Amino acid sequence: MVLRAPVGGLYRHVIDLTDELGRRGHQVGLIMDSSLGDSQTDKRLSSLKTPPALGVKRIPIPRLIGPGDLSAIFRVRKLAKAMKVDVLHGHGAKGGFNARLAGFGRRNMIAAYTPHGGVLHYGQKSPVGKMLHTIERGLLKITDAILFESAFAKAAFEKQIGKVPCPGPVVLNGLLRTDFSPLDPRLVEFDFAYVGELRALKGIHYMLDALVNVKRADGSAATLILGGGGPDEAAIREQIEMLGLKERVVMAGVQPALNVFARAGVVVMPSLMESLPYVALEAAAASKPLIATDVGGVKEIFGPTSSALLPAGDSEALRAAMQNALDAPQAANAEMKTRLAWVAENFSIQKMTDGIEKTYYECLKQAK
């Protein structure tokens, strides 16, 4: 498994997949950037029931394309050769870039790729977007499989990059059985919770604008707990101060999503862009009412409750939904239960690993 940043939903996907493949008897290793991580990175690794048999290798993997990539590609290739791997599976834009180029020309080995959004988050008309999309089209020629985490991701990829010439199944992100456990209601102290990166494309500024006029039944002001870290933390703190929300919003920092969910009645995901976010899956599995925007593959998570999704970048729609969740909690809980049943049926770690494992074997058979 090759990835750059060991944080967020992409990292959870890799860790869960590594654990389940290890449980099934596969030898798995991780290659990731040596300079990145957060307080949860090592905790997730140490929690694995089946530690990676091939170990965890940390090498410099630059965020932007440049000379440093030559060194990264060489190191990944050298590690793959030394460990005699059958599959190099790149996750995210840089993980996929390095895995596929490192695997180029190797016999009896396949290079697989899961985008996790990645290059699809860059506009087709922007200079950076044009460059990345051109590179991605070139990499298609040396890609043995692309595993899409949602039907939306596959459709977006084919629209922006082109038809996939190799196996390209949709394999939905999966949850563990332990994810499906209701949280202790006695821990609730905030009305709303947000968990994720603190960056502009997550739409947090729209949620804060919406919160200003949301009231509880007794007329008191609604509260919010923010979990996560990121490049726009200073700007978010400034907005909280400017809107007079300092006494109503608590920034809890980076910690497990469930720790933050447990402290609030309703989860809000106001994203402007997403792929198939684990935050939405985790909130649904934890039996939390969820307010979310209609972006990426979120509609696939909401299933029969997708009519409740909101337009992205609309503070008034968020305000109305947040207010309604406080005014009509029984309706919010009924919707939550419908969504919980849908997610439990369609998003499991077993189904996810089955689909990925099947693709590995099919591609390896063709490579021989």
Question: Of 362, 256, 359, 254, which Cα lies nearest the Cα of 17?
Answer: 359
* pLDDT tens, position by position, 73-94: 999 999 999 999 999 999 999 9
Give the CATH number, domain containing residue 102. 3.40.50.2000
* Shared-domain flag, residues 159 and 12: yes
Residue pLDDT, tens place only, 110-128? 999 999 987 877 777 788 8
Same-domain pairing of 320 and 352:
no
In a domain, 227, yes or no: yes
**What does the alpha-carbon distance between residue 157 and residue 161 come to, in Å, rounded to a whole number?**
5
- Provide the number of structural domains found in the chain: 2
Q: Is residue 3 part of a domain?
A: no
2 occurs within a structural domain: no
Considering the domain architecture, whether residues 165 and 285 belong to the same structural domain is answered as no
Domain residue limits at 206: 177-346
Mark whether 341 and 357 lie in a shared domain.
Answer: no
93 in any annotated domain? yes
Same domain, 273 and 357: no
Phi then psi for residue 37, to 5 deg, are: 150, 175
Quick one: 308 and 169 in the same domain?
no
Instruction: Choose among 77, 72, 188, 186: nearest CA to 142.
Output: 77
Q: Per residue in 321-368, pLDDT tens?
A: 999 999 999 999 999 999 999 999 999 999 999 999 999 999 999 887
Whether the full predicted model's pTM is greater than 0.75, yes or no, is yes
Q: Kindly state whether residues 128 and 242 are assigned to the same domain.
A: no
Summarize pLDDT for 167-212 with one digit per residue, the tens: 999 999 999 999 999 899 999 999 999 999 999 999 999 999 999 9
d(CA 1, CA 147): 13
**Residue 7 pLDDT > 90, yes or no?**
no
- For residues 134 and 183, membership in a common domain is answered with no
Q: Residue 247 falls within a domain, yes or no?
A: yes
CA quadruple 22, 24, 27, 30: dihedral sign:
negative
Q: Is 25 left (phi over 0), alpha (psi -120 to 50) or beta?
A: left
